[in-house]
Structure 1
């Protein structure tokens, strides 16, 4: 084989390997998860600090389903979603609104809802909203 061709092949191989290494480093350093979005196994504190959101789970027909809950500072559940989400098939993004204790549930499967604390002190899921706050629009648009 011609020496010039061998040199070109070696240079191309080194370039491809270098590019692959750079991509692997970038993927490792950026998990792609937004710290404002609730991740399984973690909690997300509300803007007031009085509440946290987390996922609870249950097994149904051998499959693990999750559902968001809101807990107070004592760890007592003050609200839990009646929907169950199979995250591998129909994930739900759970995020607190930046300026108040409103929890948003963003699901491409069943739609977007919010959980609000009513004047009675009870939390309720609300499907009737006019516009998304800008911070929630940014997350939903990803």
Structure 2
């Protein structure tokens, strides 16, 4: 049985081909063709698409999009990243107290530092990093580094 396909593009690892196939019941549906598929039609679709498949193009993300995809850090990871640039909780708390008037916001920001995990785009994290004059790109690099510890 021959199936029609369209929009064939190599997957990121270049071992498979993503495409749409014209299913006899469901119409156009997504399909990943594999040269080692256990089903003959999968191998046939791969062979048919091999010559016409477009190369994989990695998506380009804005810095904000990349930050939104960063995993949360545990408290241990977060504070180890801070220690890596010679900052500890007391330094941050002192800076918050010096820069913010005595208010509920100040108390909430300090309380947030006791969190068990930290999200990269948490407003408190953004405010603290700006307060400490740490560029967002440096925070990104530290964040990525900290995910590995």
* TM-score range relative to shorter protein: under 0.3
**Greater fraction helix:** 2
Bigger strand fraction:
1
Q: TM-score, normalised by structure 1?
A: 0.21
TM-score, scaled relative to structure 2 = 0.20
Greater relative contact order: 1 or 2 (C-alpha under 8 angstroms, separation 6 or more)? 2
> Looking at CA atoms only, which structure, 1 or 2, has the larger radius of gyration?
2
